[in-house]
Copies of this chain bind each other. A is one copy, B any other.
Amino acid sequence: MAEVYADRRSRLRDQCAGAGRAAVLVSRPANVRYLAGGAPPGAALLLGPAEDLLVCPTAPNGDPAEGRLAEELRVEVLADLAADAAVAAAGRAAGTGADTLAVEEHHLTVARHRALGAAAEGLRLADLGLAVEQQRLIKDDEEIACLRIAAEISDQALGELLESILVGRTERHLALELERRLVDHGADGPAFATSVATGPNAGAAGHLPTDRRVEEGDFLSVCLGANYRGYRCALGRTFVIGTSPAAWQVELYDLVFAAQRAGREALAPGAAYSDVDRAARQILDSAGHGEGLAPSTGHGVGLEIEEEPRLSPTAMGKLDACVPVTVEPGVHLPGRGGVRIDDTLVVRPEADGGPELLTITTKELLAL
């Protein structure tokens, strides 16, 4: 298990070796966790020519939410909550014989980058770019196992909510109850802010819960996900409240369902990101809902809830096996509400049965 992290760091070091005697400084928390096994708050990871070093503002606590650090990794604790570990790590890089320090320019602020340059005396700063994010794209079995558990927990939490009385409760309360249930079932926490949207809010992407109460006849759309050992998934469903849905609700639901299925079915090793997006998008588009659609119909998940790849019309690249993604098209009609359906799946070759669906809550239109 420990070797996993050492292997990941070796791969990154090899990739940067072409640039001469480069040290690498990783500061983005999900990247630190990927390479070190854990990411204590504010930690920065230095890959030196000779040795790797994790610098932490305070002592790591070993809590599962923070991750368990790889044992072979040298750890330096600054014992100062307010210290900038990246700046301290840059100072350590100065003595290692490296001539270049590759840093994450997409994560460091201009001000921190400057402080870091001053600390890394005699080293030239270079841009590491998205090297770690690219490495994180394809998941190993252990990572997929964590996502599978995260999805199971999400299914359980949603399933329990559906058995309770919903009419009269606010979006905020339902969201908090879902988050409590995620934790009940073993999540380290929610993977992202749980979205509960009722009536005219239903179907809006990323809707933050308000004090609106669930009413008879509403669409109710819910998007939640568990964080299990750092791995995050998403599960989104839309329901109707009351005995039977109106005709426009059935029609809209069927449309979004068809788009979401098309997106799922387009998932395959070698499929272009933009083709997966198009499969879902064109169904909504040709029904007249092209305007106002979200810029992407899905995205990668892992140590972050939105990571590479992005499934959008302009995304460049092709899917690989063992890449977990969401497929989450939705339509929101201003003033009326809408439908959103979101699954987390792992791309698998046809020979292995095609895409593996992790979030298995039914996608029938339930009337609650």
Contact = CB atoms under 8 A, between A and B. Distances in A.
A285 interface: no
Nearest to A210: B63
Contacts of A110: 105-106, 108-110, 113, 127
Contacts of A180: 173, 176-177, 180
A205 interface: yes
A312 B180 CA distance: 36
A296 B63 CA distance: 24
Copies in the complex: 2
A172 B183 contact: yes
From A80, A205, A208, name the one whose CB has the most chain B CB atoms within 10 angstroms: A208
A176 B179 contact: yes
A105 B108 CA distance: 10
Given A106-B110, A108-B109, A110-B113, A81 B176 contact: no
Interface residues of A, number: 37
A177 B181 CA distance: 12
Contacts of A65: 208, 210
A81 B80 CA distance: 38
B205 A81 contact: yes
Contact of A105 (B111, B179, B183): B111
A335 interface: no
A79 interface: yes
Contact of A107 (B82, B109, B179, B210): B109
A176 B176 CA distance: 8
A18 interface: no
Interface in A124-163: 127
Interface in A81-117: 81-83, 105-114
A292 B79 contact: yes
A208 B66 CA distance: 9
A119 interface: no
A317 interface: no
A357 interface: no
A41 interface: yes
A79 B205 CA distance: 12
A255 interface: no
A306 to B, nearest CB: 10
A106 B106 contact: no
A105 B110 CA distance: 5
A65 B41 CA distance: 26
A105 B114 CA distance: 10
Contacts of A176: 176, 179-180, 183
Contact of A82 (B81, B105, B177, B295): B295
Interface of A: 41, 63, 65-66, 79-83, 105-114, 127, 172-173, 176-177, 179-180, 183, 205-206, 208, 210, 292, 294-296, 310, 312
12 contacts: A41-B206, A63-B208, A65-B208, A66-B208, A79-B292, A81-B205, A105-B109, A106-B112, A110-B110, A110-B113, A111-B127, A180-B180
